[in-house]
Chain A
Amino acid sequence: MKALEVKNLSAFYGKIQVLWDVSFEVEEGEFVTIIGANGAGKTTLLKSISGLISNKKGTVTAFGKSIEQLSAAKIVRSHIGHVPEGRQLFHLMTVLENLESGADYLPHAKREAAKTKAYVYSLFPRLKEREKQLAGTLSGGERQMLAIGRALMTKPKLLLVDEPSLGLAPALTKTVFQALKTINQEGVTIVLVEQNVLQSLKAAQRAYVLENGEVVKSAEASSLLNDPEIQAAYLAI
């Protein structure tokens, strides 16, 4: 079954159209990255899928179920997690409360909350150390880990990840990408949106290139790494 099928998706901020007939597919278990320059519409694309943007046209099907009409709160119930731009954590809550809040309102996630939490801590031992600390006092890297952890607590089968490397030191970026790979190997389908094209092409199996709100290319990630156009435009080689 396809984890995600986006067909002719257009999205708008007020009257301004940001996405133009975007279509792409993700097989279950895949790790797909969507690359593109700043302002290409990558964040908008993820927000449209997860329901944070409701002003849109076209269809979005996840695991065979049509979700484009649903609210964000309903879409997370369809096993789609979103690690959003800007992390969107609860700054005055502790790390632990942030994680628990990921599972609290979803019965299927709540049942396995303890297990998932242990899994998140095994991925990011740093979060365990910071368990009692307020999210607002964490470093950028720790916040990113917490955002991923909170999304995992919702028990997603498909995880949308927005710019996890933004503002992170290279070593931390590596940790985060390694964690995403591990999460994918455990069976979670991943759609990663990134400006750090080199890292994301290395991590992903397939890639789509988004330019000015349109999909202009799709290929195996490894072949894009050797594509002269991609190298010139995004890899600065």
Chain B
Amino acid sequence: MDLTLLLQGILSGILASGLYALVSVGLALAIGVIGIVNFAHGEFFMVGAFLAYQLFISFGFDPVLSLFFVAPALFILGALIYRSSIQFVLKAPELNQMLLTFGIGIILQNLALVIWGGDPRSISNVPYRSIGYQVGGVSIGLVPLASFLISIFIVAGLYFVLLKTPLGRAMRAVAQNRTGASLVGLEVNRIYLLAFALSAALAGLGGVMIAVIQSPTPVVGFAFTLKAFAIVVLAGLGNIRGILGASLLVALAESLVATLVPDGDSLRNAVFFAIIFVVLIVRSRRQA
């Protein structure tokens, strides 16, 4: 086996895991704190991507600058969606919640199709998009490297907030015991709103990066919803700390298959979900 190819596969996998972690951690936050299974999560990601694209086209905003606009925009979008719909179904059966978020996703996706059309869009002509480095035969693109570093930085920031700040502790308190949380003076509904909005903002930040890395269409979101779900399930529902490891595992597997197996690129998604199947089956056996 070609060692360089193997190293390339590992490196690409590691770099891809950052973005997966960023998108998944937002979903895990919504599931863990609010208990809402949000099928529109990937659509927040997509909206982030196309907002960044539009900011670039209309005002020439560099994607790095767009991060600072997209995050608050998606935070507000998340808050609005929570206030106008999610908060009313918190006690509804889970199937109803899923249908609602699924519907929200479809609306967002179709709105994007109306606004931007179905063609792939990309922030292609930023000067650094083609920059790459060669290290011992292995190539590292600046964009994947930067998106990895930014993603990990944001995820680390979220971990810090959750573990070390009063707001983070409030979110953990609400996640662990709603009744107890309200008895120590927390307005549970307000914490839910913040968690949902934050979750949307995290997805939006991931979207900005995909607009530079790939050429997304408005239907890019659903694949990411599924992938994020897979990672969240792998980490254990609601387990935010497990997200980094789970993202690394699936991203590595995906990348290694794509680089080492002939025609492996078309197997990417298959590998992703094969891992999830195996984990779910093994886990249910262990519990049985």
Contacts and interface: CB of A to CB of B under 8 A. Distances in A.
Contacts, number: 68
A72 interface: yes
Interface string B160-173: 00000010011011
Given A101-B169, A104-B169, A105-B170, A92 B183 contact: no
A71 B187 contact: yes
Contact of B185 (A52, A73, A93): A73
Interface string B171-188: 011001101111111111
A76 B183 contact: yes
Given A92-B172, A101-B169, A106 B185 contact: yes
A84 B179 contact: yes
Given A91-B177, A93-B172, A105-B186, 14 more contacts: A71-B182, A73-B187, A84-B183, A87-B180, A89-B180, A90-B177, A90-B180, A101-B184, A104-B169, A104-B184, A105-B166, A106-B184, A153-B184, A154-B184
A88 B185 contact: no
A68 B172 CA distance: 28
B183 A90 contact: no
A23 B177 CA distance: 31
A151 interface: yes
A97 interface: yes
Contact of B177 (A52, A71, A89, A106): A89
A192 B169 CA distance: 30
- Size class of the A contact interface (CB-based, 8 Å): 20 to 34
Interface residues of B, number: 17
A133 B96 CA distance: 38
B169 A97 contact: yes
A82 B183 contact: yes
B28 to A, nearest CB: 14
